Amino acid sequence: MLVLGIETSCDETAAALVEGGASDRWQIRSNVVASQVEIHREWGGVVPELASRQHVRDICGVVERALADGGATWADVDALAVTQGPGLVGSLLVGVSFAKSAAWALGKPLVAVNHLAGHIESIWLEHGPIVLPAVVLVVSGGHTSLYLITREGEYALLGRTRDDAAGEAYDKVAKLLGLGYPGGPIVDRLAQEGNDVAIRWPGTRLTNPDRNAPERDGRFDFSFSGLKTAVLRHVRERQAALGTGQLPREEIVDLAASFQRRVVETLIDRTFSAARWHGAKSIGIAGGVSANSRLRHDAMAKSERSEIPVYIPRLALSTDNAAMIAAAGLRQLALGRVAPPDLNAAASLPL
Ligand code: KG4
Ligand code: ZN
C-alpha cells in the first residue's frame, strides 16, 4: 500500500509518501515540508488567515514534489490520508478539500487522521512495532497529553494539560524575552549555555502542591501556566531592578536553562509515573517539543536507569510532517476505517 499523507493543520504545508503492508515495516518514500515560519515570524506567532492563504499557494507544489521525490505518479497512490483536526480550521480545510478532491478524482480511499494520532504513529514509523502496553507522551505547541496504548491504533487518554501546552509555554517565554518565534528551538539553544539551578521557581508547587502530582485514579495531568507566570514575574522584577527592558545575555541563558529544567523534569516525571502506574513495557515521546535536546537526553538517561525502553522519533518526524499522517492513515486502513465523502475539518477534534 502506498499512502499519500497531507498535513495542513497549522503553519506547515506537508505531503509525504509512506509505503507499508499488513505486516512489514512502514517505509518513508518522501517527506516534504514547506514551513511558513518566515511569514509568521514578523507577527510573533501564527496568523491564521495568513496561514490558510499560504497553504492554498503551496499545497499543489508540495504534493507534486512529494510524488516526484518518491518516484511515484498519481496512479501509484493506493490511498490518501489527511489531517482532519485538531488545528486551525481555515488551514485544515485546505488539506481536507484537496485530499477529498484528489481521492474522488482518483477513485481511491481517503482516511481522516487525528493530528495527535499522527504524532503517536511517528514512533512506530521510526522504530517499528514497540512492546505494548506503551505510554506515549504527545508534547507539542497545542497539546501535552499522555496516552496508554494496549493495542496498536487505539489510544486511551491518561491525562493532559489543564492550561498551557509545554510548547506554548516555550513560545510565550521566548516572546517575553524578545527572542523571536518559534520559541522552543531558541530557548533550547540558549539553555545549553546557562546554569539550570540559577533560578528557583516558586510557581506551581507553592500555590498548589498537588497541581503536578499524579492523581489517585491514575490520571496524569500537567499544568504549565504557574511556571509561565513565575517567569513573567521574574522578568518584570529584573527589568524594573535594571531599569531596562532588555536583560543581559547571562541572565537570559540562566533563565532559559532553569525554565527548561523545570519543564523537562515535569514531563519526564509524569510520563514515567504513568508508565509505572499502568505497567507499561515501553514509553514513547512525540510532537514538536520532543525535538528538545534536554528532553531527549534526560529521557534516554532515565530509560537506562529504570530499564524501560524509551522511543523518540528523529527530529524531522518530531515536528509537524505528513509522513506521520500517512503512517496513521496506514494504521486506520488496516483497521478498515475510511472517511465518508462529506468529511469536514474539525478544529477541536478530540483524541
Ligand atoms: O508538533 P509541532 O510541530 O506543532 C504542533 O502540533 O503544535 O510542535 C510545535 C511546538 C512549538 O511550540 C515549538 O516551540 C516546539 O514545538 N518546539 C520545541 C523545540 N522544537 C520545537 N520546544 C522545545 N525545544 C525544542 N527544541
Ligand atoms: Zn503537531
Q: Is 125:276 a contact under the CB 8 Å cutoff? A: no
For residue 218, name the pLDDT band (cuts at 50, 70, 90): low
Please choose from 88, 137, 144, 170 the residue to mutate so as to test ligand 1's pocket, defined by most ligand atoms within 8 A of CB.
Answer: 170
Nearest to 211 by CA among 197, 190, 201, 225: 225
C-alpha 161/C-alpha 148 separation (Å) is: 16
C-alpha distance across the termini of the chain, in Å: 25
Atom of ligand 1 nearest to the CA of 171: 14
pTM of the model: 0.94
Q: At what angle do helices 166-176 and 249-277 cross, to 10 degrees?
A: 170
Mean of pLDDT over the chain: 94
Please choose from 262, 298, 319 the residue to mutate so as to test ligand 1's pocket, defined by most ligand atoms within 8 A of CB.
Answer: 319
Q: Atom 8 of ligand 1 has which residue's CA nearest to it?
A: 288
CA of 27 to the centre of ligand 2 (A): 21
> What is the reported pLDDT for 206?
34
Better-predicted residue by pLDDT, 217 or 173: 173
> What is the reported pLDDT for 202?
67
> What is the reported pLDDT for 209?
44
C-alpha 38/C-alpha 275 separation (Å) is: 39
> What is the reported pLDDT for 208?
42
Q: Grid coordinates in use for 272? A: 514515567
Q: In Å, how far from its chain's centre is CA 116?
A: 7
Using the predicted structure, report yes or no on whether residue 230 has a pLDDT greater than 90.
yes
Atom of ligand 1 nearest to the CA of 174: 14
Q: Which residues 6+ apart lie within 8 Å of 293 measured at CB?
A: 188, 192
Q: Is 108 exposed, middle or buried (0-12, 13-18, 19+ CB in 10 A)?
A: middle
Q: Atom 23 of ligand 1 has which residue's CA nearest to it?
A: 184
> What is the reported pLDDT for 217?
59
> What is the reported pLDDT for 212?
54
C-alpha 139/C-alpha 188 separation (Å) is: 15
Q: Atom 22 of ligand 1 has which residue's CA nearest to it?
A: 184
> pLDDT tens, 3-58?
999 999 999 999 999 999 766 799 999 999 999 999 999 898 899 999 999 999 99
CA of 166 to the centre of ligand 1 (A): 9
Using the predicted structure, report yes or no on whether residue 107 has a pLDDT greater than 50.
yes
> pLDDT tens, 294-346?
999 999 999 999 999 999 999 999 999 999 999 999 999 999 999 999 999 99
> pLDDT tens, 167-216?
999 999 999 999 988 899 999 999 999 999 999 986 444 334 455 555 55
Pocket of ligand 1 (CB under 6 A): 10, 140-142, 167, 170-171, 182-185, 188, 287-289, 291-292, 319-320
